Amino acid sequence: MQITRPSRSGRSTPFWRDERYLALLGQAVFLAILVLLLGYLARNMLANMRQQGLGLGFDFLKLTSGFDIGEHLIPYDRSSTFQQALLVGLLNTALVSILGIFFATLLGLIFGVARLSTNFLVQQLARGYIEFLRNIPLLVLLIFLYTAVFIKFPRVREAVMLPGPVMLTNRGIAIPWAIPTEAFSIFARFLGIGLLLALLVYLALKIYERRAGRPARALLWACLIFIMITVAGWLLAPAQPLALDPPRVEGLRLAGGRQMSPEFMALLVGLAIYTSAFIADVVRAGIQSVSRGQVEASRSLGLNTLKTLRLIVLPQALRVIIPPLTSQYLNLIKNSSLAVVIGYPELFHVSGTILNQSGRAVEMIAVVMAIYLSISLLTSAFMNWYNRRVRLVER
Amino acid sequence: MAEEIAAPRQILPPPAERYTWLGWIQKNLFSTWYNSLLTFITLGLAYALLKPFLTWLLEQANWEVVEVNFRLLMVGQYPPDEIWRIWLLLYLLAAVVGLSWGVWVRGRLALALGLLLAPLLLALLPIATPSARLNLVAMDLVAVAASRLGRLGGPSLRRFAAWSWVIYLVLVILVVRGFALTPEVMPRVPTNLWGGLLLTCLLTVVGIVFSFPLGILLALGRRSSLPAIRAVSVVYIEVIRGVPLVTILFMAAVMVPFFLPSGITIDRVLRAMVGITLFSAAYLAENVRGGLQAVPHGQFEAASALGLSGFKTMTRIILPQALRIVIPVLMGQFIALFKDTTLVVTIGLLELLGIARAVLAQPQYVSYQREVYLFVAAIFWVISYLMSYISQRLESVLGVGER
C-alpha cells in the first residue's frame, strides 16, 4: 500500500487554509469592524455635540463651580472650581469607603466567627443577620436607613442623649471630638519622633530576628516605644495639647464635637452592615477551609486555643479569605456611588451636579469612570501584593 | 507459634447517644461558662431588638398605604384592561416550572408542596381580590398538571423542557410589550407604563437572557489564543468590573443619545436594559471563565483526538461541563442582577423601588416610609431567598459538582 506523505517542499497548505493566516485574517477583520464601529459612534457623538454647540475638552474643570457642597474635608465654597468640587467628592468617597471597610471587616469577622459558634443561639442570630442582609438590595437598605431611621430622629431640641455624650438628632449625629490647642505643634513633634523611633526599632529588631533566628517581638517593642514617647510628649507639653469638645445644643443647631450628617450616617451604616454580611460568609468559608487535622495537630503540639487560632488557623484561612475579601472591598467602594440617591456628596453625586451645571456629559462621565477605574485597579493591586505575601509558598 | 488473637465474642453496637430536651439545651447553649454568658447576652440582645420591632409591627404599623397602592407597586401603570397578559405569563410560568419539575426533579415531595403552597398563601392575603384568588389556585392546578405530563413524557421531553424556558423568556417580553396583531388584540403597551415589580422582573429577565450569551463569548474571548480578541475581551471585562453600575446606567441614559445619529432615539427602558446587560455580561464572563479553567485539559485533547473541530469541542465537550460546574455561581450572579435592577431609580425608571418612592411622594403617605420600604424589602428578600434556596436544592438534585 502506498502512503502519500505531505512533501516538505512541494504542495504545502495553501494560505487560505493555513490556520496561521486565517487567525491573522480573522483578528484583522475583528479589529477593523471594532474600529469602524467605534469610529462611527465617535463621529456621531462629535456631530451631535457640534449641533448642540459643545466642544470636547477638559478646560471647563477650571471654571468656577457656583454650587455649594454640604460636607467638605478641604476648604470649598461656591467660588471654587469644578476641579476642587471633584476633589471634595473624591475625598468624601474615600472617607466613607475607608470607614466603611473598617467597620464592615470588623462586623464581618464577628458574624463570620459567630456563624461557626458552638452556641446554637449565637449561630442562629448570625445566620439571621447574614441571610437578611444578603437578600435585600443595598439601595432599599440605604433609602430605608435614611428616610425611616436617620431623619426620623427627634429634632435638635429634643435630641436623644447617649452616654459619651453622643447626640442623635434629625440633623445628624454628634460625637465628642478632640480639638488641638496651641500646644499641639510641640506634641505633634513628639508624635513624629515617636513614630520614627518606633519604625527604626521595628526594622532593627526584624533584622536581628532574621540573624539570630529567634523571635524578638518587634511589633510589641515598637508599639511600646511609640506609646511611651507619646505619653511623655503629652506630659511635657506646656499645656494640654488636645482639648475635649463635647457636642451641645445652641439655639436650634448642634454645635461642638464632630457632627455627622444623616446622609453620611445612612450611607456609612448601610454600606458597613450590607458588606459585613458578605464578608462574614467569606470569613466563614475561609475558616472552614482549614482542615480539622491542623487544629488537632497544633493542640497535640501543646499550643493553646488562642495560639492555635493565631498561628495555625488564621494564617491558613487568610489565604483563602484574601481574594474574595478584595472583591468585597471593591464592591463597597463602587457601591458608595449609590449615595447619589440619598444625597451624600461623594464623587458620583458631585460629578452629577457638575454635569448639570456645565452640560459636559461626555467629559464628566469619562472622568468619573476613569477615577473609579483607577481606584479599583489600585485597590486590587494593593490586595494582590498583600495576597502574594501571605500566599502558600510551595516548593 | 503465633497465638491467634481472640476475636471478641460479640460485636457491641455503637453506644447510642440519646438526646433529651435538657441534654440538647445543655450541649448547645450552656456547654461552658462563656457559652452560658453568650447565651444570656444574645437573648438580651434579641429581646432588645425584636421587642420594639414587633410592637411596631403588630400595633403601630398601618398597611393601608400598601393595600391602596398594591396594583401600582406590582405592575406600575400597566393598563388594567391588559392585566390578563400578566396572568397569562404567570400561568405559563407555572406550566414551565411544573413541566421541568416532572422531567428533571420528581420526588422531593416536601419541596414541591412548599412551592405549591406559595400561591395559596398569596391567595390567603387580605389584599387578594376573588378573581386573583381563583387565578392563583388555578395556577397551582396548571403546575400540577404540567408536572404529571412531564413525568409521563420522562426523558424524551428533556429537550422540549429546556427549550420551553428559552421560549418562555422570549415570550415574556413579547407579551408584555404586545405585538399589535390588530389594534384590538394585544395592542402595544408603551414602556413608560411599565413599572413596579413587573418592570423589576422584566429588567432581570432581559438582563439574564442577553448577558448570558455575551458573557460566554467574552469568557471564550478572554481565553482565546488570538491576541487581538483576548486583549479586547480583557479590556472590556476589566473596565466594566472596575466602575459602578450607576455610572454605566448613567452613561446609557445620558450618553447613548450622543452616540446615535441625530433623529434616532432609543426608549429609556431599553437603554436601561442595555446598560444592565453590558454590565452583567462582564461579571458572567469571569464566572464562566472560572468554569472553563476547571475543565481538565485532557478533555480538549480527547476531543481533538476524536477529530472534533474547535467549534464542536467547545459546544459539545467543554462548555457543557464548564457551565455545569458554575451553576451555583451563576445563580448567585443572577440574584445579584435581580437586586441591582433597583439602581435604575437613579435614571428615573419606576421599578418596584421607584414606584415605592413615587407612592411616598404623595402628600397623604409622606410618613409611611417604614411600611412601604419594609414591604419592598420583604418582596426582594422573599424572591432572592427563594432563588438561592431553589438553586441550592437543584444543585443537590442534579448532582452539580459531582461527575
Give the percent of chain A with pLDDT over 90.
Answer: 36
- pLDDT exceeds cutoff 90 at A272: yes
Q: For position B1, what pLDDT does the model report?
A: 46
Q: For position B287, what pLDDT does the model report?
A: 92
CA distances from A32 to A20, A35, B218, B258, B261 (A): 18, 5, 18, 23, 21
Chain B residue numbers touching A338 (CB-CB < 8 A): 244, 246, 343, 346
**Cβ-nearest to A338 among B246, B257, B377:** B246
Average pLDDT, chain A: 86
CB B388 within 8 A of CB B333: no
Statement to judge: residues B185 and B245 lie in one domain: no
- pLDDT exceeds cutoff 50 at A218: yes
Range of A20-29, A308-317, B214-223 with top mean pLDDT: B214-223
**3-class SS at B351?**
strand
Instruction: For B195-221, write each residue's pLDDT tens digit.
Output: 899 999 999 999 998 999 999 999 999
Statement to judge: residues B217 and B345 lie in one domain: yes
Taking alpha carbons only, the member of B119, B118, B113 closest to residue B136 is: B119
Structural domain harbouring B352:
192-397
Chain B residue numbers touching A48 (CB-CB < 8 A): 257-258, 262
Q: Does residue B224 lie in a domain region?
A: yes
- Of B125, B156, B189, the residue that ends a domain is B189
Return the CATH superfamily for domain A98-176+247-345: MetI-like (1.10.3720.10)
Contact B258 A44 (CB under 8 A): yes
Q: For position B57, what pLDDT does the model report?
A: 86
The nearest alpha carbon in chain B to A334 belongs to B244
Contact B388 A335 (CB under 8 A): no
Statement to judge: residues B166 and B283 lie in one domain: no
- pLDDT exceeds cutoff 90 at A275: yes
Chain B closest-CA separation from residue A134 CA (Å): 8
Chain A residue numbers touching B45 (CB-CB < 8 A): 125
Rounded Cα gap, residues B316 and A349, in angstroms: 48
Contact B38 A117 (CB under 8 A): yes
CB B105 within 8 A of CB B85: no
Contact B377 A140 (CB under 8 A): yes
Q: How many CA atoms, within 13 angstroms, populate the side-chain half-sphere of residue B346?
A: 30
Contact B339 A138 (CB under 8 A): yes
Contact B246 A122 (CB under 8 A): no
Chain B residue numbers touching A152 (CB-CB < 8 A): 369
Q: Does residue B274 lie in a domain region?
A: yes
Chain A closest-CA separation from residue B226 CA (Å): 7
**Cβ-nearest to B244 among A51, A355, A372:** A372
- pLDDT exceeds cutoff 90 at A127: yes
Statement to judge: residues B127 and B271 lie in one domain: no
**Cβ-nearest to B29 among A30, A120, A337:** A120
Contact A369 B369 (CB under 8 A): no
The model's confidence at residue A270, banded by pLDDT at 50, 70 and 90, is very high
- Give me the residues of chain B with pLDDT under 50, please: 1-2, 403
**Cβ-nearest to B380 among A140, A334, A377:** A140
- Of B168, B189, B210, the residue that ends a domain is B189
Query: Can you tell me the mean pLDDT for A165-187?
Result: 83
CATH code of B318's domain: 1.10.3720.10
- Of B162, B189, B216, the residue that ends a domain is B189
Instruction: For B356-377, write each residue's pLDDT tens digit.
Output: 999 999 888 888 888 999 999 9
ipTM summary value: 0.87
Statement to judge: residues B386 and B285 lie in one domain: yes
**Cβ-nearest to A362 among B258, B373, B380:** B258
Contact B247 A372 (CB under 8 A): yes
Statement to judge: residues B99 and B148 lie in one domain: yes
| Three-state secondary structure string covering B129-170 | CHHHHHHHHHHHHHHHHHHHHHHHHHHHHHHHHHHHHHHHHH
| Model confidence, pTM | 0.86
The nearest alpha carbon in chain B to A369 belongs to B243
Contact A44 B346 (CB under 8 A): no
Q: Cell numbers of A100, please?
A: 466603611
Q: For position A394, what pLDDT does the model report?
A: 56
- pLDDT exceeds cutoff 50 at A1: no
Instruction: For A330-388, write each residue's pLDDT tens digit.
Output: 999 999 999 999 989 999 999 999 988 888 888 888 899 999 999 988 888 887 888 78
Instruction: For A143-153, write each residue's pLDDT tens digit.
Output: 999 998 888 88
Domain tally, chain B: 2
Q: How many CA atoms, within 13 angstroms, populate the side-chain half-sphere of residue B144?
A: 12
CA distances from A202 to A191, A213, A216, A221 (A): 16, 16, 10, 7
Chain B closest-CA separation from residue A126 CA (Å): 10
